[in-house]
């Protein structure tokens, strides 16, 4: 006998947990499953060392999910996005340009949070929602879809009949493969190191991307650690170099990252373990199938440039949630899912192309190409209408 639910969310990462809270807050019975229980403490084994910057439009989704009030006390506002080119003969800043949120509104560009903390607060929110049923340690092991609904088999042997299955189960999505949606993947030969640091010079709520070669070195503000300024770092390099850096003893690694950062915030001290992630771009051929919607990395994966990744995921969720709330009687039916695909796929594809170009530009090693990159940045920044248009586009504002 199958248990009945409106929505089954496959995947309990940050995007899946937000989706579960949002749908349950909107009045839909929602079950969320994930084979790996969430790690909700920074020092625990398997803790996600990355951070997430929620841009302005994503706050609306967090508010609808009842999460913003819980998260706000831990937010590090992002008031300025700074781009530094350090592509000269020595790793020093030769060009610096600031994109200031004050040119658009009184609000910051966004707010940054450690991923482990997001999971902690989201799991706590789900516990308060009577329509949410979170089942960590359980995976989707079978899926059969029909016009009347989806029959889902779980790894614990239980069966669920869902009107809509939301695939938030990552870049290797079981649900996406089960419904036969192909993906196109681009590999860069890059990896990203993710970790947190402390530094003597305050970050002043400025998020900074430093470009030299191999990929950007990015500081994203975090709240102070025991009174000492702190930032999350994503350091992208070609694969072999990233692996070499990840294996360095801490003192040597600290010296290397301080040099790569151009000394912007003073000597850097490693505050957490280092995590290593392969860099790819990936997009699904469709974002929907019978009784199924793909969101987040089940639908698209991009390198972590411009804080686009999870914010694109929340744009997926916002679009799908709007469609579900507008017509709950026809939840998960073909017209609704076709509308979701039509609205999201072209926008995601356009952003994928843009991020791919930016990433390739950040990887260049030849001095003439690095000089060209710096020149283009200077020209674009100098034109105020273009600068503001780039900021609005980065935020996903129309």
Q: What is the pLDDT along the chain (398 residues), one digit of tens a residue?
A: 789 999 999 999 999 999 999 999 999 999 999 999 888 888 888 877 778 889 888 999 999 999 999 999 999 898 888 888 888 888 888 888 887 877 777 888 889 898 899 999 999 999 999 999 999 999 999 999 999 999 999 999 999 999 999 999 999 999 999 999 999 999 999 999 999 999 999 999 999 989 888 888 999 999 999 999 999 999 999 999 999 999 999 999 999 999 999 999 999 999 999 999 899 999 999 999 999 999 999 999 998 877 677 889 999 999 999 999 999 999 999 999 999 999 999 999 988 988 888 888 777 777 777 767 766 666 655 666 655 665 566 656 55
pLDDT at 367: 74
Give every CB contact of residue 57 below 8 A, 6+ residues apart in sequence: 311, 314, 315, 318, 395, 396, 397
The token pair at 386 is 């273009």
pLDDT at 377: 64
**Burial (CB count <10 Å: 0-12, 13-18, 19+), residue 160:** buried
So what's the architecture of 3-42+118-185+282-358 in CATH? 3-Layer(bba) Sandwich (3.50)
- The Cα 172–Cα 179 span in angstroms is 13
136: left (phi over 0), alpha (psi -120 to 50) or beta: beta
pLDDT at 388: 63
Q: Of 99, 80, 90, nearest to 262 (Cα)?
A: 90
CA atoms within 13 A on the CB side of 136: 13
Instruction: Provide the residue ranges of all domains of the chain, joining segments of one domain with +.
Output: 3-42+118-185+282-358, 72-113+188-279+367-395
- The Cα 277–Cα 48 span in angstroms is 11
Tell me which fold the domain 72-113+188-279+367-395 belongs to: D-Amino Acid Oxidase; Chain A, domain 2 (3.30.9)
pLDDT at 333: 97
pLDDT at 102: 76
pLDDT at 363: 75
| Alpha helices (H) in the chain, listed in sequence order | 14-25, 56-64, 68-71, 115-127, 174-178, 239-247, 250-260, 309-326, 334-363, 367-382, 384-395
Q: Which residue has the tokens 């248009």?
A: 389
The token pair at 233 is 């770092």
The token pair at 366 is 């030849």
**Burial (CB count <10 Å: 0-12, 13-18, 19+), residue 249:** exposed
Rounded to two decimals, the pTM is 0.89
- On whether the CB atoms of residues 6 and 50 are closer than 8 A, the answer is no
């Amino acid at each position: 006998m199958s248990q009945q639910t409106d929505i089954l969310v496959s995947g309990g990462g940050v995007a899946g947990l937000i989706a579960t809270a949002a749908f349950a807050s909107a009045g839909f019975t929602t079950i969320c499953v994930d084979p790996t229980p969430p790690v909700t403490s920074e020092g625990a084994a398997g803790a996600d060392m990355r951070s997430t910057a929620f841009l302005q439009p994503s706050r609306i989704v967090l508010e609808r999910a009842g999460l913003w009030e819980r998260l706000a006390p831990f937010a590090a506002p992002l008031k300025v996005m700074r781009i530094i080119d350090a592509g000269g003969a020595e790793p020093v800043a030769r060009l610096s340009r600031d994109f200031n949120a004050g040119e658009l509104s009184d609000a910051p560009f966004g707010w940054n949070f450690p991923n482990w903390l997001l999971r902690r607060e989201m799991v706590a929110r789900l516990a308060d929602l009577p329509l949410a049923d979170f089942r960590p340690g359980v995976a989707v092991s079978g899926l059969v879809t029909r016009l009347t609904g989806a029959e889902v088999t779980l790894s614990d042997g239980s069966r669920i009949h869902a009107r809509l299955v939301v695939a938030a189960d990552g870049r290797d999505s079981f649900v996406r493969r089960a419904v036969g949606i192909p993906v196109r993947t681009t590999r860069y030969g890059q990896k990203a190191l993710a970790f947190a640091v402390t530094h003597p010079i305050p970050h002043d709520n400025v998020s900074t991307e430093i470009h030299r070669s191999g990929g950007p070195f990015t500081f994203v503000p975090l709240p102070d650690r025991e009174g000492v300024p702190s930032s999350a770092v994503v350091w992208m390099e070609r694969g072999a170099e990233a692996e070499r850096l990840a294996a360095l003893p801490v003192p040597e690694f600290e010296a290397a990252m301080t040099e790569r950062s151009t000394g912007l915030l003073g000597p850097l001290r490693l505050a957490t373990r280092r995590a290593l992630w392969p860099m790819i771009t990936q997009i699904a051929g469709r974002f929907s199938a019978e009784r199924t919607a793909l969101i987040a990395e089940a639908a698209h994966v991009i390198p972590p440039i411009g804080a686009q990744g999870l914010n694109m995921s929340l744009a997926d969720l916002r679009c799908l949630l709007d469609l579900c709330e507008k017509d709950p009687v026809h939840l998960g039916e073909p017209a609704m899912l076709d509308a979701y695909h039509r609205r999201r796929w072209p926008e995601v594809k356009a952003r994928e192309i843009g991020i791919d170009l930016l990433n390739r530009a950040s990887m260049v090693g030849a001095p003439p190409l690095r000089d060209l990159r710096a020149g283009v940045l200077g020209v674009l920044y100098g034109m105020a209408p273009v600068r503001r248009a780039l900021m609005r586009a980065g935020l996903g504002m129309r």
